[in-house]
Amino acid sequence: MLTRKQRDLLEFIHKRMQKDGVPPSFDGMKDALDLRSKSGIHRLVTALEERGFLRRLAHRARAIEIVKMPEAMTAGFSPRVIEGDRRDLPRDAMPVHGTGARDVPVMGKIAAGVPIEAISQVASHVSVPEQMLGTGHSHYALEVKGDSMIDAGINDGDVVVIEEGDTADSGDIVVALVDDHEATLKRLRRKGGMIALEAANPAYETRVYRDDQVKVQGKLVGLIRTY
């Protein structure tokens, strides 16, 4: 049996897809259900998934399959995948074809979640548009593991392009090396002599370290996604 909020969310997603053909954003879901934060929406979506009404699809931003509807809401329903129209490219998206490209080493995987072991070996190479890289800096790429930066548009399985360097401004998304052995992708905030590494997913807490515990390994300059 579903709670009132779970039923309301499922009905809202279904009606929005029937009307617009595209999924509501988490902000849209939050406003429609009059919730104060997106963390409540994450919990409702998880509950609907656990009860078999929704299925989240891996490696696709906000892609959800409605598996079934409650009997009282099934009139005219047929399962449908909801996801953004791929023709609506992200702001500043660049075509890979028809532009100069440079091979950048992929150094392995980086955690967008709990920090994992530091990356140090080249696993492969990826072609990156010249406009994304600019000049005068070295770059490398990392495959994202985890979903803690999903609200910043960075999904599990994406490849992030990093401008190598040891400095960053407060608010930059960086590769941070924690205690010389754990690397993570987070938004950096400076607070006096402390550094906060912020996730972009309310399911993950902000971690705060002494300044000497965190070394910036580079900052995010681009992202590559394969459909």
User: Are residues 173 and 186 in contact, defined by beta-carbon separation less than 8 angstroms?
Assistant: yes
pLDDT winner (highest mean) among 70-79, 108-117, 153-162: 153-162
> Is 19 in the active site?
no
Same domain, 170 and 65: no
Same domain, 131 and 209: yes
Whether 83 has a pLDDT exceeding 70, the answer reads no
Whether 69 has a pLDDT exceeding 90, the answer reads no
Same domain, 77 and 107: no
User: Are residues 37 and 48 in contact, defined by beta-carbon separation less than 8 angstroms?
Assistant: no
CB neighbour class for 108 (10 Å; exposed up to 12, middle 13-18, buried from 19):
buried
The catalytic position among 25, 148, 170, 215 is: 148
> Is 138 in the active site?
no
**Which pLDDT does position 108 carry in this prediction?**
80
Residue 86 sits at φ, ψ, to 5 deg, of -65, -10
Out of 27, 53, 82, a domain closes at 82
The mean pLDDT of the chain is 79
Whether 90 has a pLDDT exceeding 50, the answer reads yes
In this prediction, residues 87-109 reach a mean pLDDT of 64
Q: What is the pTM of this model?
A: 0.56
CATH number, domain containing residue 192: 2.10.109.10
Beta strand residue intervals within the chain, DSSP E: 54-56, 64-66, 81-82, 101-111, 116-117, 124-129, 139-145, 159-164, 173-178, 182-191, 194-198, 207-210, 214-224
Same domain, 41 and 112: no
Specify the 3-state DSSP secondary structure of 27: helix
- 92 assigned to some structural domain: no
Same domain, 23 and 107: no
Q: Cα dihedral sign for 144, 169, 37, 12?
A: negative
User: Are residues 172 and 187 in contact, defined by beta-carbon separation less than 8 angstroms?
Assistant: yes
Same domain, 180 and 114: yes
In angstroms, what CA-CA distances link 129 with 31, 101, 105, 225? 38, 4, 14, 13
Same domain, 134 and 210: yes
Out of 49, 82, 115, a domain closes at 82
Same domain, 133 and 217: yes
Alpha-carbon gap, residue 217 to 84, rounded angstroms: 33
Higher pLDDT, 95 or 54: 54
**Which pLDDT does position 115 carry in this prediction?**
59
Same domain, 105 and 202: yes
CATH number, domain containing residue 27: 1.10.10.10
In angstroms, what CA-CA distances link 142 with 17, 30, 105, 175? 34, 32, 8, 10
Q: Sheet with 54-56: list strands edge to edge.
A: 54-56, 64-66, 81-82
Which residues have C-beta within 8 Å of that of residue 67, sequence separation ≥ 6?
52, 53, 54, 55, 79
Q: Which among 152, 158, 144, 153 has a CA at the least distance from the CA of 112?
A: 144
The catalytic position among 30, 145, 186, 219 is: 186
Residue 209 sits at φ, ψ, to 5 deg, of -130, 160
Same domain, 111 and 139: yes
In this prediction, residues 205-213 reach a mean pLDDT of 93
State how many domains the chain has. Answer: 2
Higher pLDDT, 145 or 187: 187
Same domain, 69 and 152: no
Beta strand residue intervals within 73-193, DSSP E: 81-82, 101-111, 116-117, 124-129, 139-145, 159-164, 173-178, 182-191
Q: What range does the domain containing 125 cover?
A: 101-224
**Which pLDDT does position 1 carry in this prediction?**
61
